[in-house]
Structure 1
Amino acid sequence: MVAKIDYQVPWFSGLILGVISFGMTFMLIHEFVSYGYQWTTMVDLESWQIDSWFVFSAHHVPVSQTASSGSETMAIGDNMNLIKESRSQFNFLYLIPPIPTFIGGLLLADSVGGKHSAGYSFLNGAFIAIGYLVTSIGLAWFSAESTSGLGVSMRIGPSLVESFLVAGLAYPIVFGGLGGLAHYVVRNLS
């Protein structure tokens, strides 16, 4: 006989808290970067684009430069991590993304409630990946700068694949899940 597991996937709550967690990450990084970084490049960029690239750099997602002509795409130059380029001025930014994702996972596990095991609590917290993924892919797409001419198009911006895998999935699953697990531990200690 197989035991029936009563579990509801927190889709909507995961979407909302994931978007909020990513938004908090963006706002915190923006506050630190906007007062101390000057960007010089041949491409005109808005300040929110530079802030976005710092957000992805804090998630270990590189800013890449690519050129396409016809069906061929090639990388131009090295991938950049703006935090590494800042020469330790902003190294503390690596610590920011785990904090909102942890808190989001904790809040999501709390909103689901119920008497679940540690594994289910981890899973509940990890569901912030739904909103975090949508937001990170959208920001990676819209923060990129593209130009074209003479049959060649160029793009500079966060790597979309790494934005999906690292920023969109790995960070919220790991740190959101740990937040859910922390909720389980705290709830069972009392």
Structure 2
Amino acid sequence: MESGETTPQERASIAAGAATDAVAYVVGYLVTYLWQSGSVEENLQAYNAIVDFLGGDPIPVWQAVGWLYYNAHNVAFTTPALGSGRTTQNLIADGNAPMLLYLVPVVLLLLAGFVVARNADASTAESGARAGVSVAAGYVVLAVVGLLAFRYSVGDSSVHVDYALGVLLAGIVYPAVFGALGGVLGAVTR
């Protein structure tokens, strides 16, 4: 085999990493939803009452929780501002949601990297990091899908997660960094 080619075991590890990280993304969203949906719904009541009165579609709680989940990855969402501009919001950074939400994706990605490294029989920090970073493959796909699913539009206006940072931070940086660290932990604690 030429250097640079992946072995069947490495391909299996990448596939396992993608599946594990897809699970981490979904579980992270579900934890955020179960923990914060009541608070989010309460905070949306006044806005949704006005939108409903004007004949629009209220913001679904599941979409607003999605914005909060991206906030946990340090990705803001944008909203229309009075006039012709836009404003960005991170509810966690602004103090409107628990700071502990920042730990949800971190802990799940560390765990995903740990599991993948253990399943790949990684025995060195380097092999653990390689196995752990593979979890980014599944996470980036769902991060992009989430950008589209969590977009809320009313007329010409929309509320959505910052697209570039959503892909870069939530889809690539977080899973690569924390997946690799989890992989290293999985390998060195064998």
Shift of 1:161: 0.9
**Contact 2:122-2:128 within 8 A present in 1 as well:** no
What is the aligned residue count? 173
The runs of 4+ residues in structure 1 deviating greater than 4 Å are 2-7
Q: List gaps (5 residues or longer) in structure 1.
A: 68-74
The match for 1:107 among 108, 115, 118 is 115
TM-score (norm 2): 0.81
The residue aligned with 1:15 is 18
Matches within 5 A, 1:48-127: 48-65=62-79, 76-85=85-94, 87=95, 89-113=97-121, 115=123, 117-127=124-134
| Higher-helix-fraction structure | 2
1:32 to 18, 35, 57: 35
Measured against aligned partners, the alpha-carbon deviations of 1:130-156 in whole angstroms (never above 9, x if no partner) come to 1111111101111101244xxxx3221
- 1:156-167 aligned at under 5 Å gives the runs 156-167=159-170
Stretch moving more, 8-17 or 102-111: 8-17
1:121 to 1:45, Cα distance in 2 relative to 1, 3 A: same
SS in 2 for 1:155: strand
Give the CA deviation at 1:184. Answer: 1.2
Q: Once the two structures are aligned, what percentage of the paired residues are identical?
A: 22
Deviation of 1:175 after TM superposition, in Å, equals: 0.7
- For 2:127, give the aligned amino acid: Y
Counterpart position of 2:171: 168
Instruction: Say if 1:3 and 1:129 are closer, same or farther in 2 by CA, change over 3 A.
Output: closer
Aligned counterparts of 1:129 and 1:166: Cα–Cα separation in 2: 11
2:75–2:166 contact (8 Å) kept in structure 1: yes
Q: Which amino acid is 2:128 matched to? A: S
Give the alignment's Cα RMSD to 1 decimal. 2.4
Q: Could you tell me which residue of structure 2 aligns to residue 135 of structure 1?
A: 142
In the alignment, the residues of structure 1 paired with residue 122 and residue 114 of structure 2 have an alpha-carbon distance, to the nearest angstrom, of 14
Q: Is the 8 A contact 1:65 1:156 kept in 2?
A: yes
The one-letter amino acid paired with 2:87 is D
Residues 141 and 160, structure 1, Cα contact 8 Å, conserved in 2: no
Separation of aligned partners in 1, 2:62 and 2:107: 21
Q: Is this contact kept in 2: 1:133–1:169, CA < 8 A?
A: yes
Larger mean CA deviation between 94-103 and 26-35 belongs to 26-35
- What 5-or-longer segments of structure 2 have no aligned partner? 52-56
